[in-house]
A = this chain, B = another copy of it.
Amino acid sequence: MDQVKVIELKKSVFEANDRDADELRSELKQRGVYLLNLMSAPGSGKTTTLIQTINRLKDKIRIAVMEADIDSNVDAIKIKEATGVESIQLHTGGMCHLDAEMTRQGLNGLADEGINGVVGEQPDLVILENVGNLVCPAEFDTGSVKNAMILSVPEGHDKPLKYPLMFSVCDVVVINKIDVLPYFDFDLDKCTEYIHMRNPRAIVIPICAKTGEGIENFANWLLEQVKDWKGI
């Protein structure tokens, strides 16, 4: 069989983004802002999980949210109405992921808004809700301190086998909708085992965003992360 020349495009594209992301992370460290990148497939319950988590943390730390979506505003409005925290919408215009430069544009927009109307006030925690997609967002470092993802029970416990990179890059995997475990063929032990095949240090947190079960564990993890990052 003839051999053909192969060019690995990803290297240069990803290397440039990785540099941008590292730079953004250093700036955030200096400013004392913790950025969490939250990913998942569409419909896994990201927004509901965020509302529950923010309502448990908003009296302890200053929080702001950036909601990425192709072209609607509903998620940003929902977060603002349900929690009162600063929430802005990022329109990707059909793009399937966010990179570090796009994240920086969002953070600049957020800085212009300020916190509770006070321009110049900085958030302690910014949560970036990435585009609903298990492939492309995993490829691009956004400049976040940590990556989290939500896997919901109806999606199946085999997802870490089918989307290896997503599970490799996540520090925390939140398993949502555990209230419907009896009705689905979802094996939580097997899922945890598959997640740890991809990332042995990943923390697995089962929750039900609808009822609030387990949310405390995710909120506590996040609060410790923010304190640690700010050195307080």
Contact = CB atoms under 8 A, between A and B. Distances in A.
Interface in A110-151: 113, 135-136, 138-139
A9 B92 contact: yes
Contact of A4 (B89, B101, B106): B89
Nearest to A67: B4
Interface in A34-51: none
Give this chain's copy count.
2
A93 B8 contact: yes
A232 interface: no
A63 to B, nearest CB: 15
A74 to B, nearest CB: 10
Nearest to A5: B88
A89 to B, nearest CB: 5
Interface string A18-61: 00000000000000000000000000000000000000000000
Interface string A176-219: 00000000000000000000000000000000000000000000
Contacts of A136: 94-96, 136
A165 interface: yes
A220 interface: no
A113 B41 CA distance: 41
Nearest to A12: B105
A88 B98 CA distance: 29
Interface residues of A, number: 42
Contacts of A11: 93
Contacts of A106: 7, 9
A2 B94 contact: no
A14 interface: yes
13 contacts: A2-B77, A4-B87, A4-B89, A5-B89, A5-B109, A7-B88, A7-B89, A9-B68, A9-B98, A10-B91, A13-B101, A94-B136, A136-B136
Given A2-B81, A96-B135, 18 more contacts: A1-B77, A4-B76, A4-B80, A4-B87, A5-B88, A5-B89, A6-B73, A6-B91, A7-B89, A7-B91, A8-B93, A9-B90, A9-B93, A9-B102, A14-B93, A95-B136, A95-B139, A136-B136
